[in-house]
Amino acid sequence: MPRLVVVSNRVPLPSERGPRAGGLAVALADALRPGSLWFGWSGKRGNAQEASLQQGDGVSYATIDLSEAEHRGFYVHFANGVLWPLLHFRLGLMTFRSEDYAAYRAVNRRFAATLAPLLRPDDLIWVHDYHLIPLAEELRALGVSNRIGFFLHTPFVPPAIMQALPRANELLESLCAYDVTGFHTAGYQQAFLDCVREMLGVRPDADGRFLWQGRPAQAVVDPIGIDADGFRSCAEQAAHSIEARQLRESLAGRALGIGVDRLDYSKGLLSRFEAIGRLFAHYPEHRRRVSFLQIAARSREEQGDYQRLRRELDRIVGDTNGRYSEFDWVPLRYMTRAVRRTTLAGFFRIARLAIVTPLRDGMNLVAKEYVAAQDPEDPGVLILSRFAGAADQMTDALIVNPFDAEEVAAAIHRGLTMGLEERQQRWQALRDAVWNTTAKQYCTVFLSYLERSPWSEPRRLRAAS
């Protein structure tokens, strides 16, 4: 069996797994068989040039530090200041500077130069996310001929948006250097194929395959999921934890509505809070009967857009609470600290509804975690943005337009007043969706595409296209 080499910008080192443990580490747990290698940034800033090695659970971790300048140009300015807003349809927040783009390409080149000597000829290489789009091209330039796959965790944008990015063609060409490129939804795959067709003149077939510079490439759909069984049993236990008991007591019999998101403009927190205000304005019967808890762990604090968002959120939370609070009831509890994953699972189980209303989101795992955590006898209601990738599969949620605060307020009202039978029916359908596309399946599907990629048979594909 070939060795799996995972590459991601940030490596979740076993020595430093804190309260945020989860995300990619959980999603890839099954694929990371003993002997696998995970390569990427250590999260530290420094000038050491060599990779530092660490072992944990049979997996090897090789990380490099980024210099201050690399961190600023590659990570803060280009990856998070250009690609993140672009891929979330927020062109107005995109600030392109050619020197940041140069830093982005240079860091990818450095990743490739440090990784290449660690590779074996039959390794399967799986690269994650928008920080590392040029990595395969850089590895190929060093003579690496292994199969290399790429998975994009964000949405992909149609040509009309992609064309706003200076040097967009170069980045599209870089993506074409991968054997397999994976997306969460058919819509993102289609947008990518439209871009390569219109902007690079490529002619993909019905299975998303095409030839690029004589090499076959394929765009595939592979929705990410969670360890649903694991999360369910975690939630069952955590519902009896001290934190869950304290939360329940503090509610004094009121319903709980929960939101859990990184503090990010893509997550739609401002319009969510606006909708909560409108709920109390238009449906006053819910005053004193429901409390909302928003956990919004701070992220990317070095970015001005995130600092501004935080100030705006502070203001709207203060405004909503000032307007509707009673001396013994606060409508909106808001914390910007991360909580432990088990605590979160227990909170999900207690919550009568979850509000997952990103303005754009590649998938959104919180929606899946909330469903997995529910008590089948008395499940809660999921309110889900139509612009989350998860909405493709979770069609039995209350699907809303997150830009429409009135519609979201009406959905919250509907969720809070929904009868047990409808809640159970909806939850059963959602449960099927969550258990049909688990983390394990996500890995199996991607790796089987990569293992089957026809890179050694270019002539056959050329004849077919």
Active-site residue numbers? 153, 361
Closer to ligand GDG by CB, 23 or 454: give it. Answer: 23
Closer to ligand GDG by CB, 78 or 183: give it. Answer: 183
SS (H, E, C) 30-42: CCCCCCCEEEEEE
Tokens of 62: 């090789």
One-letter amino acid at 269 equals L
Say how far apart CA 330 and CA 339 lie, in whole Å.
20
Say how far apart CA 56 and CA 236 lie, in whole Å.
28
CB of 299 to ligand GDG, least distance (A): 8
CB of 38 to ligand GDG, least distance (A): 16
CB of 383 to ligand GDG, least distance (A): 15
Separation in Å, CA 85 to CA 57, 70, 268, 274: 36, 20, 13, 22
Element (H, E) at 82: none
Say how far apart CA 13 and CA 6 lie, in whole Å.
13
Say how far apart CA 26 and CA 29 lie, in whole Å.
5
Contact residues for ligand GDG, defined by CB under 6 A: 19-20, 22-23, 153-154, 224, 260, 262, 295, 297, 338-341, 344, 361-366, 369
Say how far apart CA 102 and CA 70 lie, in whole Å.
10
Say how far apart CA 30 and CA 52 lie, in whole Å.
24
CB of 51 to ligand GDG, least distance (A): 25
Say how far apart CA 337 and CA 262 lie, in whole Å.
10
In angstroms and rounded to an integer, the radius of gyration of the C-alpha atoms of the chain is: 23
